Amino acid sequence: MQSIVTIQTNSREELVDITSLVQKTIDESGIKSGIISLFAQGATAALMVQENWDKSVQADVVNLLRKLIPKGKWLHDAQDGNGDSHLKAGIVGPSETIPIIDGVLGLSTWQNIFFCEFDGPRNKRNIVCSIIETEKS
């Protein structure tokens, strides 16, 4: 089964919690056991499983990447000013794969799934959700 989750982002750089949207996709599939593969479409976006309780962790991720990959220093900036966005997305990566256990995301208590925006804000960002069932219920 495959579907697309669409979100809107509000800042140039931010982590958006998409866990409930992904769980809704699993619920609608009816699949109880398997894996879900998530893929962020866009060369300046990524996905990350990260701490969900303390929002300072998400801010720390953005701040670390800003320090490691500052804006305005890259060859691609001559094209459209977002060389840093491409590098950040490439380092974090566009995909995550998570087990589905008894119809629920196999995340720990403190984990959620975050869409990483590095070139926003954007009215439309797509995440492709591909579910593979491992056993029939």
What pLDDT sits at residue 65? 98
Whole-angstrom distance, CA of residue 123 vs CA of residue 10: 8
Q: Convert the pLDDT of each residue in 56-87 to its tens digit.
A: 999 999 999 999 999 999 989 899 999 999 99
**Domains of the chain listed by start with CATH number:** 2-133 (2.60.120.460)
Place 135 in a pLDDT band, splitting at 50, 70 and 90.
confident
What pLDDT sits at residue 77? 87
Average pLDDT score over residue span 33-47: 98
The answer for residues whose C-beta is within 8 angstroms of residue 77's C-beta and 6 or more apart is 71, 83, 84
What pLDDT sits at residue 137? 55
Q: Please, what sign has the CA dihedral across residues 86, 128, 116, 94?
A: negative
The conformation of residue 8, written as its DSSP 8-state character, comes to -
Q: Convert the pLDDT of each residue in 89-126 to its tens digit.
A: 999 999 999 999 999 999 999 999 999 999 999 999 99
